[in-house]
Structure 1
């Protein structure tokens, strides 16, 4: 039986990765932090370790064939930042994988990272990707367009009565459900693909996502477009006045939201169904 270690296992994508590999007959080791919610993971082994502390990883990858890392932070907590986690913690995983002779390392990156090198979250991931691509093991880099869970900001604004968009709202994205992305990652790694840009089955403009939110809610659409110069002003001001845990994710979403985020389509799960599920659970 092949053995995979999944880092970031308790995150949105990590849970689907555990389920996907388990369903495909792999022995799944889920790397989790202490006190994280791991009881419901589809994993054969739960491994508690702090990837930011390399000494806690020693010996954890003996017999592992593949490491898949969805490890990263969007909102900074516990005093650690993007360079601590998105870069250094993944470097620690990579070095332990090399020491343990793991054959393959897959990493979940960001689409259009080369156009967002001024965003700390993306810069840290990109620096790790450069290190991974020069390592002496096979690697796969996955660059998704955006998760369905990221679309919650649209739904939350619609629930409050109005969706605010910068610019014309005509920029496009085909976000993807975590389960569909996990299946696509499995296939990309299985085929030995070095790099895979991956998007979901439906492409929307930002206006169309906003309208979809109101349709799911059954309320009248109220969409307000703000001048893009205001977005650029916010991007300039935020790092100077806001704490990192606020400025960091805002920089990412404001930057990614100003470009088309589309990639080859995979999967079948519909965004409207995801929104309905979120409303049922709220």
Structure 2
């Protein structure tokens, strides 16, 4: 039976799923030559992750009380602070049965760096470009900060050698005087020459893949808590089958890491 609450629950789950998958797809395609793709990714992903965690808190309230919260400030007290919301769903996890299947967060250093950045982006850094244009006190460019605080951390953990760029060095030798490359890497460093561009492309691709995987694992953790907690709600309350919206995020690491479009 479709209850008055069923429809907004389903709509919210659908919106969160679509936002998460769209954000991850953008982050997977992001590179130094198209920084706007990063912004699209951060924007959609943070919206999706925030809504997942707030939905989890509402489900937790129903599981504890048998009814939906009547106070409109119940989840609004968190605002856009993803750091606080992550702590909130950690508390929900403590009320789960020990046998409940919950996907773990990535390594603490990676999770902390990513969530700190994403929370600040959701709170205000998403307006960075508008703020610059309107004279607000300047902060660090979100793309630069992501690459500096998260991307460089991911790169430091890389064990495989980079793709060979000798061909680009040869181009610099033979064409350096008659050609010009003017770009900036994600961290704001100038890119001059074919060899620098080739290495920047290597790093962009690596951070796109590993950064997207990192964000997908954080989302999967939150979603697994939502699914497990919804299973504990009394049958007197009708919930949608949340797994239908988030089936992609029930998959293992190998599957998530292969994703590029996140349309499944």
TM-score scaled by length of structure 1: 0.22
Question: Which structure has the highest strand share of the two?
Answer: 1
Rg larger for: 2
Higher relative contact order (CA 8 A, sep 6+): 2
Question: Which structure has the highest helix share of the two?
Answer: 2
